[in-house]
Amino acid sequence: MEGMTLYIILAAVFGLYMAWGIGANDVANAMATSTGAKAISMRQAFLIAAVFEFAGAVLAGGAVTATIRSGMLDTGDLAGDPELLIFGMLSALLAAAVWLNLASRNGWPVSTTHSIVGAIVGFAIVGIGFEAVKWAKVGTIVMSWVVSPLLAGIVAFLIFRTVQWLILDREDPLAQAKRWVPVYMFFAAFNISLVTLLKGLTHIGLDLDTRQTYLLSAAIGVAIAVLGWALIRRIQPLPGADRDNHFATVERVFAVLMIVTACSMAFAHGSNDVANAVGPVAAVISTATSGQVQQTSSMPPWILLLGGAGIVFGLMTYGRAVMRTVGEQITALTPSRGFAAEMAAAATIVLASGTGLPISTTHTLVGAVLGVGMARGIAAINLQVVRNIFVSWVVTVPAGALLSVVFFLIFRAVF
């Protein structure tokens, strides 16, 4: 195909930019509760993300990916014009990346999946026609704006209520924490293992049936709980600092738990969301090299490495604003509250994976943080920050679509 090398270079550059945007926005989300609760420092968050996001992206990011993300349109419409698909995917990548850049700069946690989907819708309407878009799929995305945060918020509210009832409101909260936190560790590790196994690891040859997936997740949960129990036993009350009910020490116990959830969430996130950056890249490379539009395309390992590296770099250079919004500005987080939010997010993602509910990791986590805040009353929530976040969610799909239309028209004019 004429211009093949240039198309591949552009796809790699735009894919790297998109991965950078995912790191700056989505990964910052995944780490925000841990840093906001002061369970880990910013530097530790960067280190954890660098290791576990990269591992998740490269090991479990996918050997084969659908060329058109989320089944938004039918490749049959493009069979006679492969260059149209290339221009469309390049436009979608660049549009989503630019939107993520803008959102991250302003500290708005937005959905990377919705950014790329909005961008694909925009190119499809202009490049192929209004009827080429699967509008029912767009409807499920709109529904997820409500479903994700509401479900996660309710779950987080209930989890934090159990923490209050079993530990914080008891006569000896430190003793209760040492008794119950390993149980929470089991459920946290079990849930996040399920997220990872249900969403990612078939690509490295680990193709488990449902029963095996649940048994392996339970085994990982037990191992983490036993390790956590051994660590927690060694935590001694701080002399003088927390004479009243040992609350500061209790939060130190929960901080151990949050390190576990931060590592696990980073791996699960890397394995799942790297596809938003590398899926369109694989589509462009496959089409450019073969000269034909294919429904699926193989994923060269270097693309996953590119995606993983971009994600880590994005978090380190630009992730602080979103981390502060989610971790500090919605509501004040402690390790026990942050844990409840992360656990609720993981549980909601597991539930959605099993039932096919359309959800966004970003919306789920923000909803969970809101739920924890609600457990302390509406006054504990910064409503202005919440309003700005909701507006940014609603704007994401049309913004991605509009930018994509502009870039598509430019590419078609230039090439």
- pLDDT band at residue 228 using 50, 70 and 90 as cut-offs: confident
Does this model's pTM top 0.75? My answer is yes
Name the β-bridge partners of 120. none
Quick: pLDDT tens for 319-344.
889 999 999 999 999 998 998 898 88
What region, left, alpha or beta, does residue 330 occupy, with left being phi > 0 and alpha being psi -120 to 50 degrees?
alpha
Q: Quick one: 299 exposed, middle or buried, by C-beta within 10 A (0-12, 13-18, 19+)?
A: buried
pLDDT higher than threshold 50 for residue 198: yes
Q: What is the pLDDT of residue 358?
A: 62
Q: Compute the 3-state secondary structure of the chain and give helix, strand, coil in percent, each to the nearest 5.
A: 80, 0, 20
Higher pLDDT, 247 or 42: 42
Q: What is the pLDDT of residue 289?
A: 81
Quick: pLDDT tens for 355-374.
666 677 788 889 999 999 99
Residue with tokens 């590398």: 278
Rounded CA gap, 380 and 368, in Å? 14
For residues 333 and 43, the answer to whether their CB atoms sit within 8 Å is: no
DSSP for 206-239, written as a single string: ----HHHHHHHHHHHHHHHHHHHHHHHHT--PPT
Looking from the CA of 302 toward its CB, the CA atoms found within 13 Å total 6
What region, left, alpha or beta, does residue 381 occupy, with left being phi > 0 and alpha being psi -120 to 50 degrees?
beta
Mean pLDDT to the nearest integer, 61-75: 53
